[in-house]
């Protein structure tokens, strides 16, 4: 590994060690009981809060448990169920199309590879990584808005494109720590490194951050 990358890797590992002690419970904020539920909820969480998706979907999953169950709903019926989620009309189409493909191509099961997952409607690398990392124990960098913001401020990536950010981070974070990194950085972004006013003075990794104080 080139020297500069080695430095970043060491910086990332020190950050992980400190955040790991601060947020021992950090994990996925979407509620789910199986890969299918996490797949659908992640798809719905784009440009919407996890809390809103949980509030809508946790009760809905009690009534509709499988892709076939969802396909019993007409688009108009599902739109009504999802109407408090941003962009619910387009997302309704994606959910139904995703369920159809799951049945037609994967026997109703959620596939376990990036290539297969991204064949599903509405599923990009971010959603696929959330499922692979949380459900199947695969190495995964989950490039949600918090991870992108905090990783950039920490100087661990300088790219703006999620795919490049994912690739940059995969180069410096060992595979077995990538899911943990995603959860810890996400938690730090929610509680301290907030979008508009990061709380740099209270931040326990501020000595490792090149952006410390830039927002005052
Ligand atoms: S020092 Fe400030 S910008 Fe850097 S990680 Fe902490 S809160 Fe975010």
Residue 55 reports pLDDT greater than 90: yes
205 lines ligand 1 (CB under 6 A): yes
Query: 8-27+142-208, what's its fold?
Result: Endonuclease Iii, domain 2 (1.10.1670)
Residue 159 reports pLDDT greater than 90: yes
212 lines ligand 1 (CB under 6 A): yes
CATH of the domain spanning 35-135: 1.10.340.30
| CA 118 – ligand 1 centroid, Å | 33
pLDDT at 1: 72
- Of 8, 144, 177, 194, catalytic: 144
CB crowding 40-76: b at 16 or more within 10 Å, else e: bbbbbbbebebeebbebbeebbeebebbeebbebeee
pLDDT tens track for 82-132:
999 999 999 999 999 999 999 999 999 999 999 999 999 999 999 999 999
pLDDT at 135: 98
56, 81 contact by CB (below 8 A): yes
pLDDT at 3: 80
154 lines ligand 1 (CB under 6 A): yes
Angle at alpha carbon of residue 163, lines to 145 and 155, rounded to 5°: 65
* Domain chopping of the chain, boundaries: 8-27+142-208, 35-135
Phi, psi of 156 (to 5 degrees): -85, -15
pLDDT at 4: 83
State how far the Cα of 99 lies from the Cα of 101, in Å rounded to an integer. 5
Mean per-residue pLDDT over the chain, rounded: 96
- Of 8, 91, 126, 168, catalytic: 126
| CA 209 – ligand 1 centroid, Å | 6
Q: How confident is the model at residue 213 (pLDDT cuts 50, 70, 90)?
A: confident
pLDDT tens track for 181-207:
999 999 999 999 999 999 999 999 999
pLDDT at 181: 98
144 labelled catalytic: yes
| Crossing angle of helices 145-153 and 178-191, rounded to 10° | 90
């Amino acid at each position: 590994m080139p020297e500069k990358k080695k430095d970043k890797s060491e910086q990332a590992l020190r950050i992980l060690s400190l955040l790991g002690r601060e947020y021992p419970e950090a994990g996925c904020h979407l509620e789910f009981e199986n890969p299918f539920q996490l797949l659908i909820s992640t798809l719905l969480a784009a440009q919407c809060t996890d809390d809103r998706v949980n509030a809508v979907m946790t009760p809905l999953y009690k009534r509709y448990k499988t892709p076939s169950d969802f396909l019993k709903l007409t688009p108009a019926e599902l739109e009504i169920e999802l109407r408090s989620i941003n962009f619910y009309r387009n997302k309704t189409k994606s959910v139904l199309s995703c369920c159809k493909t799951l049945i037609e191509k994967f026997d109703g099961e959620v596939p376990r590879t990036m290539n297969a997952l991204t064949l599903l409607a509405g599923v990009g690398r971010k959603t696929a990584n959330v499922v692979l990392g949380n459900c199947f124990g695969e190495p995964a960098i989950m490039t949600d808005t918090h991870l992108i913001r905090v990783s950039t401020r920490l100087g661990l990536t300088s790219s703006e494109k999620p795919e490049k950010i994912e690739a940059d981070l995969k180069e410096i974070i060992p595979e077995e720590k990538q899911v943990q990194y995603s959860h810890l950085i996400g938690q730090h972004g929610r509680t301290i490194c907030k979008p508009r006013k990061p709380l740099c003075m209270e931040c326990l990794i501020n000595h490792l951050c090149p952006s410390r104080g830039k927002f005052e």
